Structure 1
Amino acid sequence: MPVHILALVGSLRSGSHNRQLAEAAVKHAPEGVTVTLYEGLAEVPFYNEDIDTDEQRPAAATRLRETAARADAFLLVTPEHNGTIPAVLKNAIDWLSRPLGSGALAGSPTAVVGTAFGQYGGVWAHDDARKSAGIAGATILKDAKLAIPGSVTRFAETHPADDTEAVAQLVQVLSALAAATKVPAS
């Protein structure tokens, strides 16, 4: 049975380099690993405990939770917005943290990767994503990380899936996630 990793991307822009990095993860997943890029984070409303009831929970939030519940691990792919994690990714973490203590993130191996224009590749946002997901109950793989600086120039003419160095580093992160799951890789 393959290890199933769910990739959540913190950028909604269709041409985002972070989305492309997630596409590279899908394309280059190691043998025995399947990466699924979640579509639909833009439709998930901001978390509000008042609507997080069986009677009122939005369908988009239910779909996110159901999809996440089937994942063995999570890959959070995030740019840096004003020095921190984008709201759309933070919102997904909030929805997946509930019910408190038993949400889809609870105990799930999770790694954070991404690219940004700046010289550090978005590390502030990556640190905030690790912090938030960890508080939500995820098992953060602290050594499985990838921050690619200079995205605008580095990926101006090359998709991350065609960048040998980026792919090699991404495969290392995916392999670490797979090894951290309780699912034996096939």
Structure 2
Amino acid sequence: MPEFKILAISGSLRADSHNSALLRAARKHQPAGLAIEIYEDLRAIPPYDLDLDTPEVRPAPVAALRRRVTEADGLLIATPEFNYSVPGVLKNAIDWVSTDWTQREGLPLLRKPVAILGAAPTNFGTVRAQLALRQVFVWTNTDVVVKPEVHLFRSHERFDENGDLTDETSIGLVRELLDALKTKIEGRAAE
């Protein structure tokens, strides 16, 4: 069985982020055949600047992110919700990896399998942020896992004091999402 490389990105910069903890839980509970690598450099990505969006002048952290997205078989994105939408730092990173103005590099997100999940302390979790993110991925023609939807509402009740996901229902949903992502990647690999 081949091992597929998954790049996991948390849309939160907060040290004790439940979304970052959710990615660690995904890595802990990943199915055989997946290798989840958590991206740690979101803070280093500068604001999107079209004048710098060519291979010759692109900032090094952006070039590294684009390379990692391109090399990954799939993406796993954990998004918090800010103002009913995706955090700016996450949207900014997606903007940087969604382009190919020179038409020499290819589009890193084009048909890339991606699964979305999120955690928030509110009663609605990250429903609206995930919807906004799905809309962005329509434009980039990214292959998003549709089901299951993983919205960890009241997330502070699902993690222990060490940041470990302890809620069995949530763990089950994360496993189902990863299985669906793996199936989508296998389908792409068979094309």
TM-score, L = length of structure 2: 0.89
Q: Which residue of 1 aligns with 2:67?
A: 66
Query: Which runs of structure 2 are paired with 1:1-186 in the superposition (5 Å)?
Result: 1-99=2-100, 102-155=106-159, 157=161, 159-181=163-185, 182-183=188-189
Q: Distance in 1 between matches of 2:83 and 2:164?
A: 23
Query: How many residues are aligned here?
Result: 184
Q: What do residues 55-108 of structure 1 show as CA deviations (whole Å, max 9, x unaligned)?
A: 321000000001111111111100101211001110111111111683211101
Tell whether the 8 Å contact from 2:160 to 2:166 is kept in structure 1 after alignment.
Answer: no
How much has 1:168 moved relative to structure 2?
1.1
TM-score, L = length of structure 1: 0.92
Report the more deviating stretch, 81-90 or 149-158: 149-158
Amino acid at match of 2:91: K
Amino acid at match of 1:88: V
Q: Distance in 2 between matches of 1:156 and 1:122?
A: 20
Amino acid at match of 2:125: G
How much has 1:158 moved relative to structure 2?
6.5
| SS of match in other structure, 2:146 | strand
How much has 1:156 moved relative to structure 2?
5.2
Q: Would you identify which runs of 4 or more consecutive aligned residues in structure 1 move more than 6 Å?
A: none
Task: Work out which structure has the larger RCO, using CA pairs closer than 8 Å and 6 or more positions apart in sequence.
Answer: 1
Identical-pair percentage: 35
Tell whether the 8 Å contact from 2:159 to 2:166 is kept in structure 1 after alignment.
Answer: no
The answer for unaligned runs of 5 or more in structure 2 is none
